Amino acid sequence: MSRIKVLHTADLHLGVETYGVTGQDGINSRIKDYLETLDWLVLQAKSLDCDAFLVAGDIFDNERPTNYVISEFAKRIRNLVDSSITVILTPGNHETSSSSRVPSALEVFRALRPQKDGTEIACRVLGCQPLRPGDTETMGGISTVPTKSGNLQILAMPYPRRSEILTSEQMKNRGREEVKKLAATIFLDRIQELARKALPGLPTIFVGHFGIKEAELRPGVKGYLADDVIISTYDLMSKLSDSQAKFGYVALGHYHSPQMPSPNLVAPSLDEDMDGEASVLCGTNPCRDWELLSNETVAPDPDSLFRDGKPVRKIQMAYSGAPSRRDFSDGARTRMYMELDLTPEGSSGKCRKVEHSRSLRQLTVDNALNWKEELEAKFLKSEFWRQPYEYATTGCDQEQIEKTMKGPLPIFRLRLPEEARPIWPAIKSWLDTLPMFDKIITPYYKPSVRESQKAVITQTESPVEAVKSYLDSLQDDFSRTNRARIQEEAERIMQEARVV
Ligand SMILES: [Mn+2]
């Protein structure tokens, strides 16, 4: 029986520049961060002897990635293919155009499809956008993809954009929710149509980039993804069960938190790091076992697989999470990828933690009134200097600091509570007097409902007074503002922060 090993990841978002600085070579440091994490993943795929490397959408952060990003990504594909690992890509919402007919950058790789008999180990771009609104014929596809251990059958669906699923006629006179519902129905029908074409006897998976109702979405991105077409686990599984093929796994992208949505239980986000171990809610899999990453297991309610008395085969389903994203605010979040073993009968697998090849020094000021004392104390701690690179010595003396200063990454990022905003000029001038840093990056303010409020420090005010008067002004503001408006504003800020 053929057994195929797949590395499932998603949401690489190559091209993100947020919080980066441009290096001497003209390349933004964040783009390199992301590429380095991808390099690490490529290494994992090779050392695990994977047959396929699967990225479930949002490979590029935007529909027009730079030539640098495209060529660097192409090098990684070449590296994998040279190691006889088939690369499988599906478009997500970020790399596909929402309004124009501009082909996505992934089309470059699709155009380089392998020789006609299809036996070559190569890069495949699966699933594609419909050509015209309402044209579901071209949406998604089912393919047999060769790997070094045999053929893998894949049903791939692109990000379901309402405007491309529905005609304007279908959207007319329908409310927002009704439109979303109709789009979900058409999307599911298309999945069913394709699932029925799948052949038995091959390891078979589904790949998609969209929202699942039972999945956990961080509050900050809810507004941003409000118009997403979302389908339920039950609906997806019942469509995939209506097939001669046994779908062994559903590889998802779009939600950056790694998780395994279950029909009756909402999986906790694996972001909730517990001493480096993440917890996974794992349902019963009819085929094989999935490795749980902690002692926390919850048995699913067996009735959950029935609706109106109709049983549905439960298929293991997972969002791998976004491995590359290491934003300033994401320091502690766990990143995962999935390692799958597929047979014609089903899947087994593991969630594996992504180790970042590089991290940046970062510091948070917790108390705006005592920022200086706090920063001085933190600078003296060895952990701060040890963050990006391992050093042999444990202490942190002057010599150690000097050694670090000459290191390859004399950059740090400062995270400030919002109330410290008025005193940033004072903090900056103090930092400027310190010899350790080549560059001070604009601080990141913790997102807050009152982010938009401008605050200035006047010459006559001491930093402490400035913070106090700023806090006072917030108090006034708060009494005038109702809760809903604050919530709205919070959503807006999170959207701007581009959490997804
Ligand atoms: Mn996405």
Same-domain status, 101 and 171: yes
Same-domain status, 378 and 322: no
Distance 324 CA to ligand 1 centre (A): 13
Distance 367 CA to ligand 1 centre (A): 36
Same-domain status, 373 and 469: yes
User: Which of 307, 334, 353 is at the close of a domain?
Assistant: 353
Report the pLDDT value the prediction gives residue 395, as an integer from 0 to 100.
35
The answer to whether 325 and 313 have CB atoms below 8 angstroms apart is: no
CA torsion, ordered 91, 94, 96, 98, to nearest 10 deg: 140
For residue 32, the Cα-to-chain-centroid distance in whole angstroms is 17
Same-domain status, 58 and 124: yes
Distance 177 CA to ligand 1 centre (A): 20
Distance 211 CA to ligand 1 centre (A): 9
- What residues are neighbours of ligand 1 (ion), with CB under 5 Å? 58, 92-93, 254
Tens-place pLDDT, residues 294-334:
333 334 444 445 555 556 677 888 888 888 655 444 444 56
Phi, psi of 346 (to 5 degrees): 155, -155
Same-domain status, 435 and 480: yes
The answer to whether 268 and 279 have CB atoms below 8 angstroms apart is: yes
Same-domain status, 311 and 414: no
Report the pLDDT value the prediction gives residue 155, as an integer from 0 to 100.
96
Distance 9 CA to ligand 1 centre (A): 13
Distance 139 CA to ligand 1 centre (A): 17
User: Which of 297, 325, 353 is at the close of a domain?
Assistant: 353
Same-domain status, 313 and 369: no
Tens-place pLDDT, residues 128-138:
766 666 666 67
Distance 129 CA to ligand 1 centre (A): 14
Report the pLDDT value the prediction gives residue 273, as an integer from 0 to 100.
34
Query: By residue range, what is the domain housing residue 467?
Result: 361-496
Same-domain status, 36 and 154: yes
Distance 256 CA to ligand 1 centre (A): 8
Distance 13 CA to ligand 1 centre (A): 9
Distance 94 CA to ligand 1 centre (A): 6
| Burial class of 243 by CB neighbour count within 10 A (0 to 12, 13 to 18, 19+) | buried
Spans of the chain below 70 pLDDT: 1, 19-21, 23, 97-103, 113-119, 129-137, 219-220, 222-223, 262-312, 324-334, 355-362, 380-413, 435-500
DSSP SS3 for 65: coil
The answer to whether 288 and 3 have CB atoms below 8 angstroms apart is: no
Q: Helical H runs in 299-423?
A: 371-379, 382-386, 398-405
Distance 253 CA to ligand 1 centre (A): 7
DSSP SS3 for 211: strand
Distance 228 CA to ligand 1 centre (A): 10
The domain tally of the chain equals: 2
User: Which of 321, 353, 385 is at the close of a domain?
Assistant: 353
Same-domain status, 298 and 261: yes
pTM higher than 0.75? no
Residue 410: Cβ within 10 Å count = 13
Label residues 351-365 b or e (16+ Cβ within 10 Å = b).
bbbbeeeeebbbbbb
Same-domain status, 336 and 391: no
Report the pLDDT value the prediction gives residue 368, as an integer from 0 to 100.
78
Distance 315 CA to ligand 1 centre (A): 22
The answer to whether 419 and 470 have CB atoms below 8 angstroms apart is: yes
Report the pLDDT value the prediction gives residue 47, as an integer from 0 to 100.
92
Same-domain status, 376 and 316: no
